[in-house]
Amino acid sequence: MQLSDFDFELPEHLIAQHPPEDRSGGRLLVLDNRQGEPAHCQVTDLPGLLCEGDLLVLNNTRVYPARLYGQKSTGGKVELLVERVIDDSRALCLCRASKSPREGGVIVLVSGHEATVIGRRDDLFEIEFVVDEPLLEYLEKTGDLPLPPYIQRAINAEDKDRYQTVYASETGAIAAPTAGLHFDDALLGACKNKGVSTAFVTLHVGAGTFQPVRDEAIENHRMHAEHVIVDELLCQQVEHTKAQGGRVIAVGTTAVRALESASASSGVLKPLNSDTRLFLKPGDKFNVVDGLLTNFHLPRSTLLMLVCAFAGQDRMLSAYREAVRLEYRFFSYGDAMLLFPPTTA
């Protein structure tokens, strides 16, 4: 498979720059188990598209204000994106500067605090922050929310609420699991009233979600590590759902990667608390997930490859072309898709 096999034309005006007025106010393109044309619905139609006994699996990670600004002691401007907090004073960070900071270099943050470059781990810098409180608390007070690079505007007050799911509880992500942004309390309640259960995984989304695939041979791409937590309760909920004939519906590609990472070694879902680099692409097997609610993804991205693996490459790319023709809104603040793999019968 070649990277160019996952390309499509996307007019820039279809990239959503703001969330819809209401969380559940987006459109929903549906590909069911048949090979027919996609159906065009609204996100609020979701409960009617699910069945009693289905299980929605949601990623409960919470985005923290991970972007910091400062300057090197030599005067050059620096932008830090705190990819992962290691402890109360150290973190792994992406660094944007005219010249990469050197080991031992000091960065003076806009708050007046200092940070020292300890070393480098691949594309990330290990940095020690000299602050008056635990690093996460410092970030909550001084950091900026890291909106995706394709949102070409400054962060505003609305983003602090809307670039976060209503059920976010586990702090650790620098990007939202955006399929979950469509859910408000009313939609979750309507799913519950339909007899659909909910369960939670945690996958702390890192900057790797925006990392371009640079090699034309996609099997050479190596994913960034992201931390996953799948607990025993979720495993029991999935087992019970499948035993009763229900379907496991992952909300977002991050939920898919969490579930499939926790079942990769044996084919059976087991508790997991570790990093994953799972790269799902056409030809790979899905052990747990029966359906997927997801947003529209970047051309030539690993996320597009994942949905092509799940629902069929030709079928997905055709649906994307249809979505462009009908001017669906794309990416984090955009519209959604409900996908099921085609039947083989």
pLDDT tens profile 151-162: 999 999 999 999
CB atoms within 10 A of CB 312: 18
Whole-number pLDDT of residue 33: 82
Domains of the chain: 3-63+160-339 (3.40.1780.10), 67-142 (2.40.10.240)
Whole-number pLDDT of residue 83: 94
pLDDT tier at 190, thresholds 50, 70, 90: very high
Q: Is the pLDDT of residue 122 over 70?
A: yes
Q: What is the C-alpha to C-alpha distance for residues 207 and 122, in angstroms, rounded to an integer? A: 13
Phi, psi of 300 (to 5 degrees): 60, 25
Q: Is the pLDDT of residue 276 over 50?
A: yes
CB atoms within 10 A of CB 198: 17
Q: What is the C-alpha to C-alpha distance for residues 83 and 79, in angstroms, rounded to an integer? A: 12
Whole-number pLDDT of residue 209: 77
Q: Is the pLDDT of residue 290 over 60?
A: yes
Q: Is the pLDDT of residue 37 over 90?
A: no
For the ranges 73-82, 163-172, 182-191, the lowest mean pLDDT is seen at 73-82
Residues in the chain: 345
Q: Is the pLDDT of residue 207 over 90?
A: no
Query: 271-308 b/e with 16+ CB inside 10 Å = b?
Result: ebeeebebbbbbeeebebbbbbbbbbbbebbbbbbbbb
Whole-number pLDDT of residue 314: 95
Indicate the burial class of 324 (C-beta count within 10 angstroms; 0-12, 13-18, 19 or more). middle
Crossing angle for the helix pair 302-311 and 253-261, to the nearest 10 degrees: 70
DSSP character at residue 166: T
Beta strand segments in the chain, E: 27-31, 39-42, 55-59, 61-63, 67-72, 77-85, 90-97, 106-109, 114-121, 124-130, 170-173, 197-203, 226-230, 248-251, 272-276, 291-295, 336-339
